[in-house]
Chain A
Amino acid sequence: MSRFKPRIDQGGGRLAVRLQDLGQRLSFVILVCAAIGLLLAGRTESDRMEALRSAISDFTAPLLELLSVPVQGLRASFTDLDQYFNTIEENRILRSKLERLQMWQQFALKLENENKEFRSLLNAQDIPASPFVSARVIGDLGSPFVHTVLINAGKKHGVEKGMPVVGAEGLIGQVVSSGQQVSRILLLSDLNSRVPVQLEGSGYQSVLAGDNEVQPQLLYLPSRAEIAIGGRLVTSGHGGVFPPGIPVGTISTISDGASNKEVRVQTFSDERRLTFVRVLQYHGQEMPPGTLGVGAAGSAGATEIAKDPKDPKDKGPAAVSPNTAAPPAAGQ
Protein backbone atom coordinates (compact mmCIF):
# COMPACT_ATOMS: atom_id res chain seq x y z
CA MET A 1 0.00 0.00 0.00
CA SER A 2 2.62 2.39 1.11
CA ARG A 3 4.55 1.75 -2.10
CA PHE A 4 1.61 2.89 -4.17
CA LYS A 5 0.69 5.87 -2.14
CA PRO A 6 3.15 8.31 -3.64
CA ARG A 7 2.16 7.23 -7.14
CA ILE A 8 -1.53 7.86 -6.47
CA ASP A 9 -0.71 11.20 -4.96
CA GLN A 10 1.42 12.08 -7.92
CA GLY A 11 -1.37 11.10 -10.27
CA GLY A 12 -3.85 13.23 -8.37
CA GLY A 13 -1.37 16.07 -8.40
CA ARG A 14 -0.88 15.71 -12.12
CA LEU A 15 -4.62 15.78 -12.68
CA ALA A 16 -4.92 18.88 -10.55
CA VAL A 17 -2.11 20.51 -12.48
CA ARG A 18 -3.78 19.55 -15.73
CA LEU A 19 -7.13 20.90 -14.57
CA GLN A 20 -5.48 24.09 -13.42
CA ASP A 21 -3.70 24.30 -16.74
CA LEU A 22 -6.98 23.80 -18.57
CA GLY A 23 -8.63 26.49 -16.43
CA GLN A 24 -5.77 28.87 -17.19
CA ARG A 25 -6.03 28.13 -20.88
CA LEU A 26 -9.76 28.67 -20.87
CA SER A 27 -9.49 31.94 -18.96
CA PHE A 28 -6.72 32.99 -21.35
CA VAL A 29 -8.95 32.42 -24.38
CA ILE A 30 -11.92 34.15 -22.73
CA LEU A 31 -9.79 37.16 -21.79
CA VAL A 32 -8.33 37.45 -25.29
CA CYS A 33 -11.89 37.50 -26.63
CA ALA A 34 -12.83 40.08 -23.98
CA ALA A 35 -9.92 42.32 -25.02
CA ILE A 36 -10.93 42.10 -28.68
CA GLY A 37 -14.53 42.75 -27.64
CA LEU A 38 -13.45 45.86 -25.73
CA LEU A 39 -11.52 47.08 -28.75
CA LEU A 40 -14.58 46.62 -30.97
CA ALA A 41 -16.84 48.24 -28.36
CA GLY A 42 -14.46 51.19 -28.22
CA ARG A 43 -15.18 51.89 -31.87
CA THR A 44 -18.95 51.76 -31.58
CA GLU A 45 -19.62 52.81 -27.98
CA SER A 46 -16.87 55.35 -27.55
CA ASP A 47 -18.86 57.52 -25.11
CA ARG A 48 -19.46 54.69 -22.67
CA MET A 49 -15.83 53.59 -22.87
CA GLU A 50 -14.75 57.15 -22.19
CA ALA A 51 -16.96 57.20 -19.08
CA LEU A 52 -15.38 53.95 -17.91
CA ARG A 53 -11.94 55.40 -18.55
CA SER A 54 -12.72 58.55 -16.53
CA ALA A 55 -13.99 56.48 -13.62
CA ILE A 56 -10.84 54.34 -13.48
CA SER A 57 -8.56 57.37 -14.01
CA ASP A 58 -10.21 59.07 -11.01
CA PHE A 59 -9.43 56.03 -8.96
CA THR A 60 -5.73 56.08 -9.83
CA ALA A 61 -5.31 59.85 -9.51
CA PRO A 62 -4.14 59.92 -5.87
CA LEU A 63 -1.48 57.28 -6.59
CA LEU A 64 -0.28 59.14 -9.65
CA GLU A 65 -0.06 62.39 -7.72
CA LEU A 66 1.93 60.66 -5.03
CA LEU A 67 4.33 59.15 -7.58
CA SER A 68 4.78 62.38 -9.48
CA VAL A 69 5.99 64.27 -6.40
CA PRO A 70 9.47 62.68 -6.17
CA VAL A 71 9.89 62.76 -9.95
CA GLN A 72 9.04 66.45 -10.10
CA GLY A 73 11.30 67.12 -7.13
CA LEU A 74 14.18 65.39 -8.86
CA ARG A 75 13.46 67.30 -12.02
CA ALA A 76 13.39 70.59 -10.12
CA SER A 77 16.71 69.88 -8.40
CA PHE A 78 18.35 69.10 -11.74
CA THR A 79 17.04 72.37 -13.12
CA ASP A 80 18.29 74.19 -10.02
CA LEU A 81 21.74 72.70 -10.41
CA ASP A 82 21.81 73.65 -14.05
CA GLN A 83 20.76 77.18 -13.21
CA TYR A 84 23.33 77.47 -10.46
CA PHE A 85 26.16 76.90 -12.89
CA ASN A 86 24.74 79.27 -15.45
CA THR A 87 23.77 82.12 -13.17
CA ILE A 88 26.10 84.76 -14.57
CA GLU A 89 25.34 83.98 -18.18
CA GLU A 90 21.64 83.78 -17.47
CA ASN A 91 21.68 87.07 -15.61
CA ARG A 92 23.21 88.78 -18.58
CA ILE A 93 20.60 87.33 -20.92
CA LEU A 94 17.78 88.20 -18.56
CA ARG A 95 18.99 91.76 -18.18
CA SER A 96 19.04 92.35 -21.92
CA LYS A 97 15.67 90.63 -22.23
CA LEU A 98 14.24 92.85 -19.50
CA GLU A 99 15.40 95.94 -21.30
CA ARG A 100 13.77 94.77 -24.49
CA LEU A 101 10.58 93.75 -22.73
CA GLN A 102 10.30 97.09 -20.95
CA MET A 103 10.35 98.72 -24.33
CA TRP A 104 7.65 96.34 -25.51
CA GLN A 105 5.61 97.00 -22.41
CA GLN A 106 5.53 100.70 -23.16
CA PHE A 107 4.58 99.94 -26.70
CA ALA A 108 1.84 97.52 -25.61
CA LEU A 109 0.39 99.99 -23.14
CA LYS A 110 0.28 102.64 -25.82
CA LEU A 111 -1.42 100.23 -28.22
CA GLU A 112 -3.85 99.10 -25.55
CA ASN A 113 -4.96 102.66 -24.93
CA GLU A 114 -5.20 103.34 -28.60
CA ASN A 115 -7.21 100.13 -29.06
CA LYS A 116 -9.56 101.09 -26.28
CA GLU A 117 -10.18 104.44 -27.91
CA PHE A 118 -10.83 102.93 -31.31
CA ARG A 119 -13.11 100.32 -29.82
CA SER A 120 -15.19 102.90 -28.08
CA LEU A 121 -15.32 104.91 -31.30
CA LEU A 122 -16.52 101.87 -33.25
CA ASN A 123 -18.71 100.61 -30.43
CA ALA A 124 -17.13 97.15 -30.96
CA GLN A 125 -18.01 94.21 -28.72
CA ASP A 126 -15.17 93.07 -26.53
CA ILE A 127 -14.31 89.42 -26.27
CA PRO A 128 -14.96 88.52 -22.65
CA ALA A 129 -12.13 86.82 -20.79
CA SER A 130 -12.95 83.27 -19.80
CA PRO A 131 -12.48 82.18 -16.23
CA PHE A 132 -9.95 79.42 -15.88
CA VAL A 133 -8.84 76.56 -13.68
CA SER A 134 -5.15 75.94 -13.05
CA ALA A 135 -4.06 72.32 -12.90
CA ARG A 136 -0.93 70.19 -12.74
CA VAL A 137 -0.02 67.53 -15.25
CA ILE A 138 0.05 64.24 -13.35
CA GLY A 139 0.14 61.68 -16.12
CA ASP A 140 1.91 61.50 -19.43
CA LEU A 141 1.89 57.91 -20.61
CA GLY A 142 4.25 57.45 -23.47
CA SER A 143 2.56 55.98 -26.47
CA PRO A 144 3.41 56.21 -30.13
CA PHE A 145 -0.33 56.22 -30.94
CA VAL A 146 -1.94 58.79 -28.66
CA HIS A 147 -0.68 62.11 -27.42
CA THR A 148 -2.63 62.97 -24.29
CA VAL A 149 -1.86 63.98 -20.72
CA LEU A 150 -3.75 63.70 -17.45
CA ILE A 151 -4.31 66.74 -15.23
CA ASN A 152 -5.41 66.84 -11.60
CA ALA A 153 -8.63 68.80 -12.14
CA GLY A 154 -11.99 67.37 -13.07
CA LYS A 155 -15.71 68.05 -12.99
CA LYS A 156 -15.43 68.87 -9.31
CA HIS A 157 -13.27 71.84 -10.24
CA GLY A 158 -15.41 72.90 -13.18
CA VAL A 159 -13.48 71.19 -15.96
CA GLU A 160 -15.66 69.81 -18.70
CA LYS A 161 -15.18 68.03 -21.97
CA GLY A 162 -14.33 70.32 -24.86
CA MET A 163 -12.73 73.13 -22.86
CA PRO A 164 -9.57 74.64 -24.34
CA VAL A 165 -6.30 74.25 -22.44
CA VAL A 166 -3.50 76.80 -22.55
CA GLY A 167 -0.06 77.21 -21.06
CA ALA A 168 1.98 80.35 -20.51
CA GLU A 169 3.14 80.31 -24.13
CA GLY A 170 -0.06 79.43 -25.92
CA LEU A 171 -2.58 76.76 -26.81
CA ILE A 172 -1.90 73.21 -25.58
CA GLY A 173 -5.04 71.34 -26.59
CA GLN A 174 -8.50 70.60 -25.33
CA VAL A 175 -10.17 68.45 -22.69
CA VAL A 176 -11.39 65.17 -24.20
CA SER A 177 -12.79 63.59 -21.08
CA SER A 178 -13.22 64.64 -17.51
CA GLY A 179 -13.80 62.57 -14.43
CA GLN A 180 -14.48 63.96 -10.96
CA GLN A 181 -10.80 64.39 -10.08
CA VAL A 182 -8.82 64.15 -13.30
CA SER A 183 -9.22 65.13 -16.92
CA ARG A 184 -7.52 64.04 -20.08
CA ILE A 185 -6.14 66.57 -22.51
CA LEU A 186 -5.80 65.91 -26.20
CA LEU A 187 -2.57 67.58 -27.30
CA LEU A 188 -2.24 69.47 -30.57
CA SER A 189 0.01 66.80 -32.05
CA ASP A 190 -2.49 63.95 -31.51
CA LEU A 191 -3.92 62.27 -34.55
CA ASN A 192 -7.43 63.37 -33.57
CA SER A 193 -6.64 67.00 -32.85
CA ARG A 194 -8.16 69.62 -35.19
CA VAL A 195 -8.03 73.32 -34.34
CA PRO A 196 -9.35 76.11 -36.56
CA VAL A 197 -6.59 78.69 -36.84
CA GLN A 198 -5.80 81.76 -38.85
CA LEU A 199 -2.66 83.44 -40.01
CA GLU A 200 -2.07 86.56 -38.03
CA GLY A 201 -2.02 89.59 -40.26
CA SER A 202 -3.43 88.15 -43.45
CA GLY A 203 -6.30 86.38 -41.69
CA TYR A 204 -6.19 83.27 -43.91
CA GLN A 205 -8.17 80.45 -42.33
CA SER A 206 -6.79 76.98 -41.88
CA VAL A 207 -7.04 73.92 -39.67
CA LEU A 208 -4.16 72.79 -37.49
CA ALA A 209 -4.22 69.01 -37.63
CA GLY A 210 -2.14 66.63 -35.55
CA ASP A 211 -0.73 63.46 -37.07
CA ASN A 212 1.31 62.16 -34.13
CA GLU A 213 4.41 63.96 -35.41
CA VAL A 214 6.06 66.50 -33.13
CA GLN A 215 4.95 69.35 -35.37
CA PRO A 216 1.29 69.39 -36.47
CA GLN A 217 0.41 70.46 -39.99
CA LEU A 218 -1.90 72.99 -41.59
CA LEU A 219 -4.79 71.65 -43.64
CA TYR A 220 -7.14 73.37 -46.08
CA LEU A 221 -4.92 76.39 -46.47
CA PRO A 222 -6.09 78.33 -49.55
CA SER A 223 -3.58 77.89 -52.35
CA ARG A 224 -3.36 81.64 -52.86
CA ALA A 225 -2.46 82.21 -49.21
CA GLU A 226 0.91 83.87 -48.88
CA ILE A 227 2.75 81.97 -46.24
CA ALA A 228 6.26 82.29 -44.99
CA ILE A 229 8.32 80.51 -42.38
CA GLY A 230 7.86 82.28 -39.07
CA GLY A 231 4.26 83.33 -39.77
CA ARG A 232 2.28 83.42 -36.52
CA LEU A 233 -0.93 81.47 -36.07
CA VAL A 234 -3.73 82.13 -33.61
CA THR A 235 -7.02 80.33 -33.05
CA SER A 236 -9.72 81.68 -35.32
CA GLY A 237 -12.63 80.90 -33.03
CA HIS A 238 -14.51 79.23 -35.86
CA GLY A 239 -16.60 76.29 -34.76
CA GLY A 240 -16.91 77.86 -31.34
CA VAL A 241 -14.76 75.38 -29.42
CA PHE A 242 -11.74 77.64 -28.98
CA PRO A 243 -12.01 81.34 -28.24
CA PRO A 244 -10.42 83.44 -30.98
CA GLY A 245 -6.95 84.88 -30.62
CA ILE A 246 -5.10 82.28 -28.55
CA PRO A 247 -1.49 82.11 -29.79
CA VAL A 248 -0.83 78.69 -31.33
CA GLY A 249 2.55 78.64 -33.05
CA THR A 250 4.65 79.67 -36.00
CA ILE A 251 5.09 78.12 -39.43
CA SER A 252 8.30 76.10 -39.30
CA THR A 253 8.55 74.22 -42.60
CA ILE A 254 6.93 74.49 -46.00
CA SER A 255 7.51 71.60 -48.36
CA ASP A 256 5.86 70.41 -51.53
CA GLY A 257 3.72 67.40 -50.75
CA ALA A 258 2.12 64.95 -53.16
CA SER A 259 -0.97 67.02 -53.94
CA ASN A 260 -0.54 70.12 -51.89
CA LYS A 261 1.99 72.11 -49.96
CA GLU A 262 2.82 70.54 -46.62
CA VAL A 263 3.04 73.22 -43.98
CA ARG A 264 4.20 72.29 -40.49
CA VAL A 265 3.84 74.37 -37.36
CA GLN A 266 6.09 74.72 -34.34
CA THR A 267 3.69 75.23 -31.45
CA PHE A 268 4.51 77.85 -28.83
CA SER A 269 3.84 75.43 -26.00
CA ASP A 270 6.28 72.58 -25.58
CA GLU A 271 4.20 69.42 -25.19
CA ARG A 272 7.11 67.54 -23.76
CA ARG A 273 7.63 69.91 -20.88
CA LEU A 274 4.18 70.49 -19.51
CA THR A 275 3.89 71.03 -15.78
CA PHE A 276 1.09 73.49 -15.13
CA VAL A 277 -1.75 74.23 -17.48
CA ARG A 278 -4.84 76.40 -17.47
CA VAL A 279 -8.22 75.09 -18.55
CA LEU A 280 -10.31 77.94 -19.93
CA GLN A 281 -13.91 77.58 -18.87
CA TYR A 282 -15.00 78.64 -22.27
CA HIS A 283 -18.29 77.12 -23.23
CA GLY A 284 -18.29 76.49 -26.93
CA GLN A 285 -20.46 78.88 -28.78
CA GLU A 286 -21.59 78.88 -32.35
CA MET A 287 -20.86 82.18 -33.96
CA PRO A 288 -22.44 83.53 -37.09
CA PRO A 289 -19.96 82.87 -39.89
CA GLY A 290 -17.66 85.72 -40.72
CA THR A 291 -17.93 87.50 -37.41
CA LEU A 292 -15.49 87.46 -34.61
CA GLY A 293 -17.45 89.47 -32.07
CA VAL A 294 -18.65 87.04 -29.46
CA GLY A 295 -21.55 89.16 -28.29
CA ALA A 296 -23.41 89.08 -25.07
CA ALA A 297 -23.87 85.31 -25.09
CA GLY A 298 -20.28 84.79 -24.01
CA SER A 299 -19.20 83.87 -20.53
CA ALA A 300 -19.37 87.51 -19.51
CA GLY A 301 -20.35 86.71 -15.98
CA ALA A 302 -16.79 85.81 -15.29
CA THR A 303 -16.72 87.20 -11.82
CA GLU A 304 -15.71 84.15 -9.88
CA ILE A 305 -12.52 83.64 -11.70
CA ALA A 306 -10.24 81.01 -10.27
CA LYS A 307 -7.40 83.44 -10.57
CA ASP A 308 -4.00 81.99 -10.21
CA PRO A 309 -2.38 84.11 -7.52
CA LYS A 310 0.98 83.57 -9.14
CA ASP A 311 -0.17 84.77 -12.51
CA PRO A 312 2.52 87.28 -13.36
CA LYS A 313 1.50 90.40 -15.16
CA ASP A 314 4.95 91.11 -16.54
CA LYS A 315 5.75 87.76 -18.07
CA GLY A 316 5.02 88.81 -21.59
CA PRO A 317 1.70 89.30 -23.29
CA ALA A 318 0.90 85.59 -23.62
CA ALA A 319 1.04 85.03 -19.88
CA VAL A 320 -1.33 87.82 -18.97
CA SER A 321 -4.38 86.23 -20.48
CA PRO A 322 -3.84 84.05 -23.48
CA ASN A 323 -7.30 84.48 -24.85
CA THR A 324 -7.26 88.23 -24.96
CA ALA A 325 -3.59 89.08 -25.29
CA ALA A 326 -3.25 88.44 -28.98
CA PRO A 327 -4.99 90.99 -31.09
CA PRO A 328 -8.28 89.84 -32.56
CA ALA A 329 -7.66 88.78 -36.10
CA ALA A 330 -7.66 91.53 -38.60
CA GLY A 331 -9.40 91.64 -41.89
CA GLN A 332 -12.47 89.60 -41.03
Chain B
Amino acid sequence: MKTSRPSGEIQRVISAAIPSVTSILFVLAGVVPSGAPGISSVAPLLSVAAIFFWVVSRPGLMPPASVFCIGLLQDVLSGGPIGLWALTLLLVQYLSLSQRQFLVDQTFIFSWVGFTSVVIGAALLAWLSACVYYDVLFSPMPVIVQAALTVLVYPLMALLLISVSRLIPAAP
Protein backbone atom coordinates (compact mmCIF):
# COMPACT_ATOMS: atom_id res chain seq x y z
CA MET B 1 0.00 0.00 0.00
CA LYS B 2 2.80 2.35 0.95
CA THR B 3 4.80 1.71 -2.18
CA SER B 4 1.85 1.87 -4.56
CA ARG B 5 1.02 5.43 -3.58
CA PRO B 6 4.05 7.22 -4.94
CA SER B 7 3.96 5.16 -8.15
CA GLY B 8 0.28 6.02 -8.50
CA GLU B 9 1.18 9.64 -8.06
CA ILE B 10 3.88 9.42 -10.74
CA GLN B 11 1.45 7.72 -13.07
CA ARG B 12 -1.07 10.48 -12.44
CA VAL B 13 1.50 13.17 -13.25
CA ILE B 14 2.64 11.38 -16.39
CA SER B 15 -0.86 10.87 -17.69
CA ALA B 16 -1.70 14.50 -16.91
CA ALA B 17 1.27 15.55 -19.04
CA ILE B 18 0.31 13.38 -22.04
CA PRO B 19 -1.90 16.00 -23.76
CA SER B 20 0.75 18.72 -23.55
CA VAL B 21 3.58 16.39 -24.55
CA THR B 22 1.72 15.03 -27.59
CA SER B 23 0.84 18.58 -28.65
CA ILE B 24 4.49 19.63 -28.37
CA LEU B 25 5.53 16.58 -30.39
CA PHE B 26 2.99 17.54 -33.04
CA VAL B 27 4.48 21.05 -33.19
CA LEU B 28 7.98 19.60 -33.57
CA ALA B 29 6.81 17.07 -36.15
CA GLY B 30 5.41 19.94 -38.18
CA VAL B 31 8.84 21.60 -38.23
CA VAL B 32 10.86 18.63 -39.48
CA PRO B 33 11.72 19.16 -43.14
CA SER B 34 9.42 16.87 -45.09
CA GLY B 35 11.07 17.32 -48.44
CA ALA B 36 7.74 17.26 -50.21
CA PRO B 37 7.82 20.11 -52.70
CA GLY B 38 5.51 22.98 -51.87
CA ILE B 39 4.15 21.43 -48.73
CA SER B 40 6.17 23.42 -46.21
CA SER B 41 4.30 26.70 -46.61
CA VAL B 42 0.89 25.01 -46.40
CA ALA B 43 1.72 22.18 -43.97
CA PRO B 44 -1.31 21.16 -41.89
CA LEU B 45 -1.72 22.84 -38.52
CA LEU B 46 -1.05 19.80 -36.38
CA SER B 47 -1.04 21.82 -33.18
CA VAL B 48 -4.59 23.08 -33.80
CA ALA B 49 -5.77 19.51 -34.24
CA ALA B 50 -4.02 18.35 -31.06
CA ILE B 51 -5.43 21.17 -28.95
CA PHE B 52 -8.93 20.73 -30.29
CA PHE B 53 -8.84 17.02 -29.57
CA TRP B 54 -7.59 17.36 -26.01
CA VAL B 55 -9.83 20.28 -25.09
CA VAL B 56 -12.87 18.34 -26.25
CA SER B 57 -11.87 15.00 -24.73
CA ARG B 58 -9.96 16.09 -21.58
CA PRO B 59 -10.40 19.83 -20.99
CA GLY B 60 -8.91 19.62 -17.50
CA LEU B 61 -5.60 18.44 -18.88
CA MET B 62 -5.25 21.25 -21.38
CA PRO B 63 -5.29 24.48 -19.33
CA PRO B 64 -4.76 27.90 -20.98
CA ALA B 65 -1.16 28.03 -19.69
CA SER B 66 -0.24 24.85 -21.60
CA VAL B 67 -1.96 26.14 -24.73
CA PHE B 68 -0.04 29.39 -24.44
CA CYS B 69 3.32 27.63 -24.09
CA ILE B 70 2.61 25.32 -27.04
CA GLY B 71 1.72 28.36 -29.15
CA LEU B 72 4.88 30.13 -28.04
CA LEU B 73 6.98 27.15 -29.08
CA GLN B 74 5.34 27.16 -32.49
CA ASP B 75 6.00 30.91 -32.78
CA VAL B 76 9.65 30.50 -31.91
CA LEU B 77 10.21 27.65 -34.34
CA SER B 78 8.21 29.09 -37.22
CA GLY B 79 10.19 32.31 -37.30
CA GLY B 80 6.98 34.30 -37.46
CA PRO B 81 5.87 37.01 -35.04
CA ILE B 82 6.15 35.79 -31.43
CA GLY B 83 2.69 35.69 -29.91
CA LEU B 84 0.80 34.96 -33.11
CA TRP B 85 0.30 31.25 -32.51
CA ALA B 86 0.02 31.71 -28.76
CA LEU B 87 -2.96 33.95 -29.43
CA THR B 88 -4.40 31.75 -32.18
CA LEU B 89 -4.18 28.57 -30.13
CA LEU B 90 -5.87 30.30 -27.19
CA LEU B 91 -8.71 31.10 -29.57
CA VAL B 92 -8.73 27.46 -30.62
CA GLN B 93 -9.06 26.49 -26.98
CA TYR B 94 -11.90 28.94 -26.45
CA LEU B 95 -13.80 27.80 -29.55
CA SER B 96 -13.27 24.12 -28.76
CA LEU B 97 -14.42 24.59 -25.19
CA SER B 98 -17.55 26.40 -26.30
CA GLN B 99 -18.38 23.54 -28.68
CA ARG B 100 -17.52 20.85 -26.23
CA GLN B 101 -20.96 20.29 -24.79
CA PHE B 102 -22.38 19.66 -28.27
CA LEU B 103 -19.57 17.36 -29.31
CA VAL B 104 -19.12 15.09 -26.32
CA ASP B 105 -20.71 11.67 -26.87
CA GLN B 106 -21.46 12.44 -30.51
CA THR B 107 -20.29 10.54 -33.55
CA PHE B 108 -16.98 11.41 -35.12
CA ILE B 109 -18.61 13.30 -38.02
CA PHE B 110 -19.93 15.88 -35.54
CA SER B 111 -16.56 16.53 -34.04
CA TRP B 112 -15.05 16.70 -37.52
CA VAL B 113 -17.53 19.40 -38.47
CA GLY B 114 -16.81 21.16 -35.17
CA PHE B 115 -13.11 20.94 -35.88
CA THR B 116 -13.63 22.47 -39.32
CA SER B 117 -15.24 25.54 -37.81
CA VAL B 118 -12.42 25.85 -35.26
CA VAL B 119 -9.79 25.61 -38.02
CA ILE B 120 -11.57 28.30 -40.04
CA GLY B 121 -11.58 30.57 -37.00
CA ALA B 122 -7.92 29.89 -36.26
CA ALA B 123 -6.79 30.39 -39.87
CA LEU B 124 -8.74 33.63 -40.09
CA LEU B 125 -7.23 35.00 -36.87
CA ALA B 126 -3.68 33.94 -37.83
CA TRP B 127 -4.07 35.52 -41.26
CA LEU B 128 -5.51 38.76 -39.89
CA SER B 129 -2.84 39.04 -37.17
CA ALA B 130 -0.06 38.42 -39.69
CA CYS B 131 -1.50 41.04 -42.06
CA VAL B 132 -1.72 43.61 -39.26
CA TYR B 133 1.72 42.70 -37.89
CA TYR B 134 3.56 42.93 -41.20
CA ASP B 135 1.29 45.65 -42.54
CA VAL B 136 0.82 43.73 -45.80
CA LEU B 137 -2.19 42.08 -47.34
CA PHE B 138 -1.08 38.44 -47.58
CA SER B 139 -2.60 36.27 -50.25
CA PRO B 140 -5.28 34.22 -48.43
CA MET B 141 -4.79 31.24 -50.75
CA PRO B 142 -1.98 29.45 -48.83
CA VAL B 143 -3.96 29.87 -45.61
CA ILE B 144 -7.07 28.39 -47.20
CA VAL B 145 -5.08 25.43 -48.55
CA GLN B 146 -3.46 24.98 -45.16
CA ALA B 147 -6.83 24.99 -43.39
CA ALA B 148 -8.26 22.50 -45.89
CA LEU B 149 -5.28 20.17 -45.46
CA THR B 150 -5.62 20.38 -41.70
CA VAL B 151 -9.28 19.37 -41.88
CA LEU B 152 -8.39 16.51 -44.24
CA VAL B 153 -5.71 15.01 -42.01
CA TYR B 154 -7.77 15.37 -38.83
CA PRO B 155 -9.34 11.88 -38.88
CA LEU B 156 -5.88 10.35 -39.04
CA MET B 157 -4.66 12.48 -36.17
CA ALA B 158 -7.77 11.82 -34.12
CA LEU B 159 -7.21 8.09 -34.59
CA LEU B 160 -3.69 8.48 -33.25
CA LEU B 161 -4.76 10.69 -30.36
CA ILE B 162 -7.66 8.43 -29.38
CA SER B 163 -5.25 5.54 -28.93
CA VAL B 164 -2.95 7.79 -26.89
CA SER B 165 -5.85 9.03 -24.77
CA ARG B 166 -6.67 5.44 -23.77
CA LEU B 167 -3.45 5.53 -21.75
CA ILE B 168 -4.91 8.22 -19.50
CA PRO B 169 -7.11 6.91 -16.74
CA ALA B 170 -10.63 8.32 -16.70
CA ALA B 171 -11.21 11.55 -14.78
CA PRO B 172 -11.85 10.99 -11.07
Q: List the interface of chain A (C-beta within 8 A of B).
A: 24, 27-28, 31-32, 34-39, 41-43, 49, 52-53, 56-57, 60, 63-64, 67-68, 71-72, 75, 137-150, 176, 184, 191, 212-214, 270, 272-275
Contact = CB atoms under 8 A, between A and B. Distances in A.
A270 B35 CA distance: 11
Given A52-B76, A60-B76, A149-B33, 20 more contacts: A27-B63, A35-B71, A35-B84, A39-B87, A39-B129, A39-B133, A56-B76, A60-B73, A60-B77, A64-B32, A67-B28, A72-B35, A138-B33, A140-B40, A141-B40, A143-B41, A144-B42, A212-B138, A272-B40, A275-B33
A148 B34 contact: no
Interface stretch (B1-9, B106-114, B139-147, B153-161): B139-147
B28 A60 contact: yes
A180 B90 CA distance: 31
B29 interface: yes
B134 A139 contact: no
B78 A146 contact: yes
Contact of A68 (B33, B74, B136): B33
Contact of B133 (A43, A57, A137, A184): A43
Contact of B77 (A57, A213, A214): A57
Contacts, number: 158
11 contacts: A31-B86, A32-B87, A35-B87, A42-B133, A52-B76, A60-B28, A140-B40, A142-B39, A212-B138, A213-B139, A272-B37
Q: Is the interface of B mostly helix, strand, loop or mixed?
A: helix
Contact of A31 (B31, B68, B136, B142): B68
A27 B90 CA distance: 11
A209 B61 CA distance: 45
Contacts of A31: 64-65, 67-68, 86, 90
B169 interface: no
Interface string B77-89: 1111111101100
A32 B90 contact: yes
A63 B28 contact: yes
B83 A35 contact: yes
A140 B33 contact: yes
Interface residues of B, number: 52
A35 B40 contact: no
Interface string B6-45: 0000000000000000000000111111111111111100
Nearest to A144: B142
Contacts of B37: 270, 272-273
A123 to B, nearest CB: 46
A214 to B, nearest CB: 8
B129 A27 contact: no
A38 B86 contact: yes
B130 interface: yes
Nearest to A189: B41
Among A42, A49, A144, the one with the most B-chain Cβ atoms within 10 Å of its Cβ is A144
B12 to A, nearest CB: 17
List the 8 closest A-B pairs by CB distance, nearest first.
A142-B43, A38-B83, A144-B142, A148-B79, A35-B87, A39-B83, A140-B33, A35-B86
